Amino acid sequence: FGDRIGLANSAHLRSLNGNDFKPVLAQQSIRELTRTGRIPADVMCAAVWAVFQEGYKNGFGADADHLKTTQDIDLMIENGFTMFTFDPGEHVINEADNFPLNELTEKIKQLPWQSLNDDFNSVLKRYEHVSFNLGEGFEIIPSREEILRALLKYGGAIAHINNLYKHLVNNYSDKPFEVEVSVDETESVTTPFEHFFIASELYRLKVRIISLAPRFIGEFEKGIDYKGDIEIFKKEYLKHVKVSEYFGSYKISLHSGSDKFGVYKAIGSLKRGYTHVKTAGTSYLEALRVVAAVEPELFREILDFSRDLYVTEKESYHVSADIKKVFSSKDYSNE
Instruction: Tell me the Cα Rg of the chain.
Output: 21
Task: Specify whether the CB–CB gap between 164 and 182 falls below 8 A.
Answer: no
Active site residue 322: no
Active site residue 194: no
pLDDT tens for each residue of 218-263: 999 888 899 999 999 999 999 999 999 999 989 999 988 888 999 9
Q: What confidence score (pLDDT) does residue 102 get? A: 94
Specify whether the CB–CB gap between 237 and 212 falls below 8 A: no
Spatial distance between the Cα atoms of 188 and 96, rounded to a whole number of angstroms: 10
**What is the rounded CA–CA span in Å between residue 84 and residue 318?**
21
Question: Residue 316: which pLDDT band, with cuts at 50, 70 and 90?
Answer: confident
Q: What pLDDT is stored for residue 36 in this prediction?
A: 87
SS3 225: coil
Collapsing DSSP to helix, strand or coil, 11 comes out as helix
- What tens digit of pLDDT does each residue of 274-303 get? 998 888 888 888 999 999 999 999 999 999
pLDDT single digits (tens) 261-272: 999 999 999 999
Q: How far apart are CA 179 and CA 88, in angstroms?
A: 13
Q: CA-CA distance, 68 to 19, in Å (whole number)? A: 34
pLDDT digit string, tens, across residues 108-162: 999 999 999 999 999 999 999 999 999 999 999 999 999 999 999 999 999 999 9
pLDDT value of residue 217: 93
The residue length of the chain stands at 335
Cα–Cα separations (whole angstroms), residue 243 to 134, 203, 239, 320: 7, 13, 6, 30
Gap between the Cα atoms of 251 and 268, Å rounded: 14
CA 282 to chain centre: 16
Strands (E) in 219-278, as ranges, are: 251-254, 275-277
> Which residues is 253 bridged to in the sheet?
276
Among residues 3, 63, 65, 221, the one annotated as catalytic is 65
Q: What pLDDT does residue 223 have? A: 82
Q: What is the pLDDT of residues 110-122, one digit of tens each?
A: 999 999 999 999 9
The contacts of residue 227 (CB under 8 Å, 6+ apart) are 218, 219, 221
Angle CA 154–158–160, to nearest 5: 120
Q: Which pLDDT belongs to residue 314?
A: 87
Catalytic residue among 180, 184, 194, 236: 180
